[in-house]
Structure 1
Amino acid sequence: MHPIHKVQDWDAAPGAILWPKLVSFLREVKETGKIPPDHRSHDHLNEQKEVKVDDEVRDRWIDVFEGLRKEREQNAQEKIVWGLVDGFLLYWNQDVIDQLDVRVFLRVPEEILRKRRHERHGYHTAVQSDPEGSLWRDPPGYWEQIVYPAYVDAHRDVFIDGDIETGAPGEKAKGLILLESLTMDMGEAVSRVCGVLEDVARQLEN
């Protein structure tokens, strides 16, 4: 509950996520290469919009990673397992940051974030009493009073001088790949990230 506005606060970093549970989950996945059997998600209930990537870009990177997989299995007798972690608070908790081998941040201007949030019909949140979650719809003023201030607060330490709109990445999330969403298309973003993933995978061979 927000102490001033007296509405449920799903966005303030300290209480938005069960941090010890998330850290434990990430550590187990890295150690075993498997999702724990007791893991449950309700994200499939939320609206999923398809994001198009050019066939040429997609096919090129499929070939690259398939080649890496075969090389690793043949030469080192090891299997590569990729774990993709997506979240709006990945760079607030240092223990979470430390579990991420590659760190990517897609920067989007406030006005576009606000527009996207307002276009959502709602989203399912985790509640203890219902494994499918509970549908939440933002009350009036929620973006301005709750969501964006929490977003700024959670990310100010990630960027130099706390400038989340135009600042360069600082030292908190070292090696952060910053993608400026308004200056590149999806194919460029995918290729930049996949190029880094390829480099990381090849470094593991040495």
Structure 2
Amino acid sequence: METTPTSSTRRTKIISIGLSTLLHQDDFYFPEVQLPIDPKTGLANWDCPQAIDFAAMIKTLTYIRDHNEFPEGFDSLEDKNPIGSKEVSTPISQTVLDSYREQIMTQVPSDKDIKFVIVDGFMLYVNEHLCDTIDIKLFLTAPYEVLKDRRESRKGYATLEGYWEDPPGYFDDIVWPNFLTWNGPFVELTDAMERGEESGEYGPPGTRATMTKNVDVVSSGNATIQSMVERVSGLITKRAKEMFQ
């Protein structure tokens, strides 16, 4: 089973296969020489679907599901990247985390050997095949100012060729316009949530646009890390219960 929190800036490290593991979309960029070039700036565009090798990602995800391990030779670059955020947050206690974990696992039948694969990415739902391989879909979003601050507070990113640092203005010239283009339905849904017109939870079939129809959207706004984890854990619990009924 896969659960998928996603935003344009989230980066965390891969954890070992066991009850759960973590797979990053950022590990499936094409080589830099194959990236599209933005016609306005002349810069490599890392933030569009054409920059991602979706076929390789789906193949890896399928292998993990079938074998409960990464393919031989798989090497994540994500654990080489500094998180680099100006935000200060209070760690969540282990007791609280254990309570969330227990809440989720109470929905998993004891006779089933279930492994969770958490798929992390900024553009998971533009590819229909990839979207169809994910059982529980979540989209975590944040305001423009927060996303820009997170992106620009990082030094750079490990790549197949070495290291990439965003040129000045890259967020406003490349990242944000592409985020609005490719995740537009989620941006509109988030705006509706802020107006009090939407809860973020998806409902019966046919009540949403195709891209967002089976995705729970969580807007962080000014929420704390703990409140976000609580919200996401609650949604995973709800969707797991529906899956195993």
TM class by smaller structure: 0.7 to 0.9
Task: Provide the residue aligned with 1:139 in structure 2.
Answer: 167
CA distance in 1, matches of 2:177, 2:127: 17
Work out whether 1:13 is the aligned partner of 2:38: no
Per the alignment, in what secondary structure is the counterpart of residue 163 of structure 1? helix
CA distance in 1, matches of 2:119, 2:216: 14
Q: TM-score, normalised by structure 1?
A: 0.79
Query: After superposition, what is the alpha-carbon deviation per residue over 1:10-60, rounded to whole angstroms, capped at 9, x for unaligned?
Result: 11222x210111122222323333322232211111013696224442121
Per the alignment, in what secondary structure is the counterpart of residue 210 of structure 2? coil
Question: 1:155 Cα deviation (Å)?
Answer: 0.3
CA distance in 2, matches of 1:192, 1:11: 27
How many corresponding residue pairs?
A: 191
Work out whether 1:93 is the aligned partner of 2:127: yes
What amino acid sits opposite 1:13 in the alignment?
Answer: P
Query: After superposition, what is the alpha-carbon deviation per residue over 1:54-87, rounded to whole angstroms, capped at 9, x for unaligned?
Result: 4442121233356567x52xxx2x3110100111
Task: Provide the residue aligned with 1:188 in structure 2.
Answer: 227
Q: Which has the higher helix share?
A: 1
CA distance in 2, matches of 1:173, 1:97: 10
Equivalent residues in 2 for 1:165-184, closer than 5 Å: 166-167=191-192, 170-184=209-223
What amino acid sits opposite 2:117 in the alignment?
Answer: G
Per the alignment, in what secondary structure is the counterpart of residue 83 of structure 1? strand
CA distance in 1, matches of 2:177, 2:243: 40
What amino acid sits opposite 1:194 in the alignment?
Answer: S
- For structure 2, the residue ranges without an aligned partner over 5 or more in a row are 1-36, 193-197, 199-207
Task: Provide the residue aligned with 1:150 in structure 2.
Answer: 178
Identity %: 26
Task: Provide the residue aligned with 2:60 in structure 1.
Answer: 25
Judge conservation of contact 2:190–2:217 (CA < 8 Å) in 1.
Answer: no
CA distance in 1, matches of 2:130, 2:156: 27
Corresponding residue to 1:41 among 73, 76, 93: 76
What amino acid sits opposite 1:92 in the alignment?
Answer: V
Q: Go from structure 1 to structure 2 and tell me whether the alpha carbon gap of 1:31 and 1:102 turns closer, same or farther (over 3 Å shift).
A: same
CA distance in 2, matches of 1:147, 1:105: 17
CA distance in 2, matches of 1:164, 1:65: 26
Question: 1:165 Cα deviation (Å)?
Answer: 5.2
CA distance in 2, matches of 1:35, 1:201: 24
Question: 1:176 Cα deviation (Å)?
Answer: 1.5
Equivalent residues in 2 for 1:40-59, closer than 5 Å: 40-48=75-83, 52-59=91-98
Q: Go from structure 1 to structure 2 and tell me whether the alpha carbon gap of 1:178 and 1:47 turns closer, same or farther (over 3 Å shift).
A: same
Judge conservation of contact 1:152–1:164 (CA < 8 Å) in 2.
Answer: no
CA distance in 2, matches of 1:35, 1:68: 26
CA distance in 2, matches of 1:9, 1:28: 29
More displaced, 162-171 or 56-65?
A: 162-171
CA distance in 2, matches of 1:89, 1:25: 17
Per the alignment, in what secondary structure is the counterpart of residue 97 of structure 1? helix
Larger radius of gyration: 1
Task: Provide the residue aligned with 2:24 in structure 1.
Answer: none
Corresponding residue to 2:100 among 61, 73, 76: 61
Task: Provide the residue aligned with 1:109 in structure 2.
Answer: 143
CA distance in 2, matches of 1:197, 1:40: 28
Question: 1:126 Cα deviation (Å)?
Answer: 3.2
Judge conservation of contact 2:104–2:240 (CA < 8 Å) in 1.
Answer: no
CA distance in 2, matches of 1:114, 1:61: 30
CA distance in 1, matches of 2:243, 2:148: 40
